[in-house]
Structure 1
Amino acid sequence: MALGLLCLGLTLLGILQSQAQDTTPTLIPSPSLSKVPLQPDFQDDQFQGKWYIIGLAGSSFRKGRQSQYNMHRTIYKLNDDHSYNVTSTLLRGQNCDLQIRIFVPSVQPGQFTLGYLPQYLPGQSYTVRVVATNYKEFAMVFFETKFRNRVNFRTTLYGRTKELSPELKQRFVNFAKSLGLTDDNIIFPVPTGLCTVVSIWKGLAAPFKGATEDVKLAEPGSMLPMAAHQRSLRDKVAQLPSLPILCTY
């Protein structure tokens, strides 16, 4: 239980790979969600599918470290209750971390919270907000993590392909700057090819730096009640093939 709590706490403080830095940069205050645009008439069925991470912006990112960030992909699979199973493949060197999460619909269409939020860690939240998308080409998504007295935020530029037009990239830059970020906080990861999965993040649980073993989901009763699709996802994760796994982009 102690190990599980520590893993969950570490993840809420830095669920992004970029937040596992040796030094912690000065955080830029997170904007009020009411000031973050929301895609009008959001169509969850059109948003599902594969997205490539074309751009990243946040106070934890530094342009001088851009070579540390590689393009990765995220797949949104829509469930019957309008939540998403979200599978991300994060490249680290020539190896990959496979991250599997559930995004649950929130107060407005296009806004989501993270599934598996534990009841025994009060004062946390994880918000996902689709800022803008045309579904077939690009999407801009805002993420905010709150844990105790710390608030982290980032925004991501998704593309259906590995390349987007300069105009869409500039639109992303303009939006990031409207959040108080600077050019130094905005990066465009380089495209990648093959990699080998060496660790799997299940739900909220994330491995420690350098770990290669799975971190199991908490036992039922210690988390919020699971819906049928959540149990299905848990079972699906448990049946994943043995590591390593070869992934393609």
Structure 2
Amino acid sequence: MALKCVLLGQVLLLLWVSVAGAEVLLQPDFDAKKFSGLWYVVSMVSDCKVFLGKKDHLLMSTRTIEAMAGGNLSVHMQFPRADGCHLLDAEYLRVGSEGHFRVPALGYLDVRVADTDYSSFAVVYIYKELEGALSTMVQLYSRTQEASPQAVKTFRDFYPTVGLEDDMMVMLPKSDACSSGDKEAP
């Protein structure tokens, strides 16, 4: 009986994730090759309790993205922290349409490139599970450490459509922790 309840709960969760994610549109005609390269994560917004508790201490991180066969992405992440630069590699697995991914290694149940012009900004939607809790996050990527006013406006116009509020958002300060030679894995 307990096993049936657990399985039913997991099925309902997957159905809910599918319905919740279905409302978020994808970048039309997403091109993984044009999306490849270096991106700075200049702003984030989330309803995740862990994020909300730490958001005022976070710094700008980077994503180096490489298009792979089958529409997957190889993503190299650098996170500056007080004790140096932490590195993480993950494969974003394409599901369905181009620009739609899952990242099991990070607990990302649904990742969508919602909007991008490829040359200056991208708005990335993430629905994830962390420490047993489900949450929504939106990140603003920029090709430079200074996002354009139009990119910030696009980001600010988007995240309320997925239920996130201004007080959940942070513009991330720059850091040089990842530009020095002392990089280590998390």
Q: TM-score scaled by structure 2?
A: 0.78
Q: Do residues 161 (structure 1) and 161 (structure 2) align?
A: no
| Distance change >3 Å, CA 174–CA 137, structure 1 → 2 | same
Given candidates 26, 33, 37, the residue that maps to 1:38 is 26
Kindly indicate whether residue 185 of structure 2 is the aligned counterpart of residue 199 of structure 1. yes
Call closer, same or farther: CA 1:148–1:190 in 2, change over 3 Å: closer
Which amino acid in structure 2 is aligned with residue 184 of structure 1? Answer: D
Matches for 1:192-231 after TM superposition, within 5 Å: 192-195=175-178, 196-200=182-186
Match for residue 91 of structure 1 among 68, 71, 80 = 80
Point out where structure 2 has 5 or more consecutive residues left out of the alignment. 1-16
Letter of the structure 2 residue corresponding to residue 178 of structure 1: T
Indicate conservation of the 8 Å contact 1:103/1:113, yes or no. yes
Contact map agreement 1:58 1:154 (CA 8 A) in 2: yes
Give the CA deviation at 1:36: 0.8
2-structure distance, mates of 1:34, 1:45: 25
Q: Which amino acid aligns with 1:130?
A: V
- Residue aligning to 1:126: 109
- Larger proportion of strand: 2
5+ long unaligned stretches in structure 1:
1-28, 118-123, 201-249
User: Conserved in 2, the CA contact under 8 Å of 1:105 and 1:111?
Assistant: yes
1:52 counterpart letter in structure 2:
Y
- Dislocated runs of 4+, deviation >6 Å: none
Secondary structure, counterpart of 1:113 in structure 2 = strand
2:85 counterpart of 1:102 = no
1:50 equivalent in alignment to 2:38 = yes
Change in CA separation of 1:125 and 1:93 when aligned onto 2, cut-off 3 Å: closer
Instruction: State the 1:167 CA deviation.
Output: 2.6
Matched-pair contact (CA < 8 Å) for 1:31–1:179: no
Aligned twin of 1:238: none
Cα offsets for 1:12-36 (capped at 9, x unmatched): xxxxxxxxxxxxxxxxx99811111
Aligned residues: 165
Deviation at 1:160, TM superposition (A): 0.5
Say whether 1:184 aligns with 2:171.
no
CA distance in 2, matches of 1:151, 1:71: 24
Structure with the largest fraction of helix: 2
Cα distance change, pair 82–98 in 1 and its aligned pair in 2 (3 A):
same
